[in-house]
């Protein structure tokens, strides 16, 4: 039931000895990671999280999710970056493609906001909520991020308008630092239900903490299975031997390819439910590895959709691309292609075949075509589209990206570069303390 990393199509791009040559470095990086001697070691909490999570908090999350399911038609997760993408990816991965369309669903509609500064988006969301019962989960480790703070103010005002000051508080769930930040102070003062983002988790590694788990539980997903899958991956990826550890194989191979000039990696899928997994992965990889003027650029594509847009570039454009394909061996559903009396659409040769069969043939055809076109392709086979497999896959990528960062000689756990635009934005907005920078920037505009 575990995932399988397939490197069989890399032969034209990676010589047999190259992976083995990386072993010494991989072993050193593994030791750095596990012993905490590497850069950013304060943020290695993700390594043992599936085993060592706070059971009391875990139970509180489930209870809160049940309360929200009982008293709300709509649930809003407010957060950005690592405080949003994991939950969105997990819910999309595991739910009906159209999970917010009302049918026999017995869980609230789930929406996210605070992940942009778009007034359109928030106004549209307020209209979707309408006068229905709703609850909000504001998620911010720092507790001071502008986008979610603005969205929270606006949604809090709607809650207060509908329920009054006191009852509104019972519909606000705050996930933040255990001790500091504006959100923590407000949650304490207003008595919101509080959940903790552990100190040793960076945002992009936090999906299996309260950050991701409360929204995921509200969406009706089995948290125990999710954590069990991650725990199984934790135990499977303990060994630094490249022959045993497929997550480390992935880390080493993408670095081997990177050094040959394959500087962009596309994470691809053949299931629309996995689109946001690609978004989550892009943050995990990009924010971890893009620093010190180096790093693989992470991009994503959704197939077969994007074969009709990006496909031309991938096949014949600049040869700096590598691909990692997520392929679901057994989809949640399959459909048979119907028989017809005539053959007006020319599809007779597919009659009686299943759509998944066709999807898999598309995948096989693409892998060979792209390989022939000079693009190295790796595949990650996921046996099923269930919570256990998702937990396992999340851990696979988290540990792989951490090791990959060390292999490329950077600190995979910091993100100094995300501050630059914020300083400018604060200065241009006239935030107190930024007057001088504001003056300077306004002259440049």
List contacts with ligand PA5 (CB under 6 A): 80-83, 140-142, 145, 148, 202-204, 287, 415
> Measured from the CB atom, is 184 or 254 closer to ligand PA5?
184
Question: Measuring CA to CA, which residue among 54, 391, 385 is closest to residue 226?
Answer: 391
Rounded Cα gap, residues 137 and 173, in angstroms: 4
Is 291 an annotated catalytic residue?
Answer: no
Please state the closest distance from residue 176 (CB atom) to ligand PA5, in A.
Answer: 8
Between vectors from CA 392 to CA 389 and to CA 394, what angle results, nearest 5°? 110
Please state the closest distance from residue 18 (CB atom) to ligand PA5, in A.
Answer: 32
- Return all residues near 165 (Cβ < 8 A) that are at least 6 apart: none
> Measured from the CB atom, is 244 or 423 closer to ligand PA5?
423
**SS3 annotation, 90-101:** HHHHHCCCCCCC
Please state the closest distance from residue 49 (CB atom) to ligand PA5, in A.
Answer: 15
Rounded Cα gap, residues 398 and 203, in angstroms: 12
Q: Which tokens belong to 33?
A: 């990671």
What radius of gyration, in Å, describes the C-alpha atoms of the chain? Answer: 23
Q: Which tokens belong to 399?
A: 């540990």
CA 119 to chain CA centroid, nearest Å: 24
Pair type for strands 377-384 and 4-6: antiparallel
DSSP string, 196-214: E--TT--GGG-TTSHHHHH
Please state the closest distance from residue 306 (CB atom) to ligand PA5, in A.
Answer: 25
> Measured from the CB atom, is 150 or 160 closer to ligand PA5?
150
> Measured from the CB atom, is 27 or 142 closer to ligand PA5?
142
Is 287 an annotated catalytic residue?
Answer: yes
Q: Where are the alpha helices (DSSP H) in 36-164?
A: 49-52, 55-71, 85-94, 119-129, 146-163
Q: Which of 246, 271, 287, 289 is catalytic?
A: 287
Please state the closest distance from residue 421 (CB atom) to ligand PA5, in A.
Answer: 11
> Measured from the CB atom, is 156 or 204 closer to ligand PA5?
204
Rounded Cα gap, residues 245 and 233, in angstroms: 10
Please state the closest distance from residue 355 (CB atom) to ligand PA5, in A.
Answer: 36
Helix (H, G, I), strand (E, B) or coil at 381: strand
Q: Which residue has the tokens 């069989």?
A: 8
Please state the closest distance from residue 40 (CB atom) to ligand PA5, in A.
Answer: 12
DSSP string, 262-289: --EEEEEESSGGGHHHHHHHHHHHHHHH
> Measured from the CB atom, is 203 or 215 closer to ligand PA5?
203
Q: Which of 4, 353, 361, 422 is catalytic?
A: 422
> Measured from the CB atom, is 207 or 232 closer to ligand PA5?
207
What are the Cα distances from residue 406, in Å, to 37, 97, 147, 297, 301? 11, 37, 31, 16, 26
Q: What residues are annotated to the active site? A: 287, 422
């Amino acid at each position: 039931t575990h995932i399988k990393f397939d490197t069989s199509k890399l032969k034209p791009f990676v010589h047999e000895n190259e992976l083995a040559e990386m072993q010494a470095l991989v072993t050193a990086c593994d030791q750095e990671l596990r012993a905490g001697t590497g850069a950013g070691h304060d943020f290695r909490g993700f390594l043992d999280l599936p085993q060592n999570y706070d059971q009391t908090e875990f139970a509180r999350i489930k209870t809160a999710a049940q309360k929200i399911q009982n008293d709300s038609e709509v649930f809003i997760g407010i957060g950005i970056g690592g405080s949003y993408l994991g939950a969105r990816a997990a819910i999309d991965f595991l739910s009906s493609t159209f999970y917010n369309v009302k049918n026999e669903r017995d869980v609230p509609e789930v929406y996210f906001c605070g992940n942009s500064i778009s007034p359109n988006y928030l106004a549209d969301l307020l209209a979707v909520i309408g006068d229905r019962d709703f609850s909000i989960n504001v998620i911010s480790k720092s507790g001071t991020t502008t986008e979610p703070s603005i969205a929270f103010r606006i949604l809090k005002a709607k809650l207060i308008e509908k329920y009054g000051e006191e009852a509104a508080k019972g519909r606000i769930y705050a996930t933040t630092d255990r001790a500091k930040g504006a959100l923590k102070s407000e949650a304490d003062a207003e008595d919101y239900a509080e959940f903790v983002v552990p100190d040793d988790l960076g945002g992009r590694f936090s999906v299996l903490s309260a950050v991701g788990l409360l929204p995921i539980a509200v969406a009706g997903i089995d948290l125990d299975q999710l954590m069990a899958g991650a725990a199984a991956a934790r135990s499977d990826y303990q060994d630094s031997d490249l022959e045993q550890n497929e997550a480390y194989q992935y880390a080493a191979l993408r670095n081997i390819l990177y050094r040959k000039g394959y500087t962009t990696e596309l994470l691809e899928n053949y299931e629309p439910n996995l689109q946001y997994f690609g978004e989550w992965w892009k943050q995990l990889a990009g924010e971890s590895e893009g620093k010190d003027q180096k790093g693989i650029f992470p991009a994503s594509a959704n197939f077969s959709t994007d074969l009709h847009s990006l496909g031309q570039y991938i096949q014949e454009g600049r040869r700096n691309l590598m691909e990692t394909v997520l392929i679901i061996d057994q989809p949640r559903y399959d459909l048979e292609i119907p028989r017809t009396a005539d053959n007006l659409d020319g599809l007779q040769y597919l009659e009686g075949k299943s759509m998944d069969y066709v999807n898999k043939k598309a995948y096989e055809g693409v892998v060979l075509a792209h390989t022939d076109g000079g693009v190295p392709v790796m595949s990650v086979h996921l046996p099923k589209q269930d919570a256990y497999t998702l937990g396992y896959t999340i851990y696979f990528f988290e540990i792989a990206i951490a090791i990959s960062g060390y292999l490329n000689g950077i600190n995979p756990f910091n993100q100094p570069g995300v501050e630059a635009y914020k300083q400018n934005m604060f200065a241009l907005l006239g935030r107190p303390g930024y007057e001088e920078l504001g003056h300077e920037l306004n002259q440049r505009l």
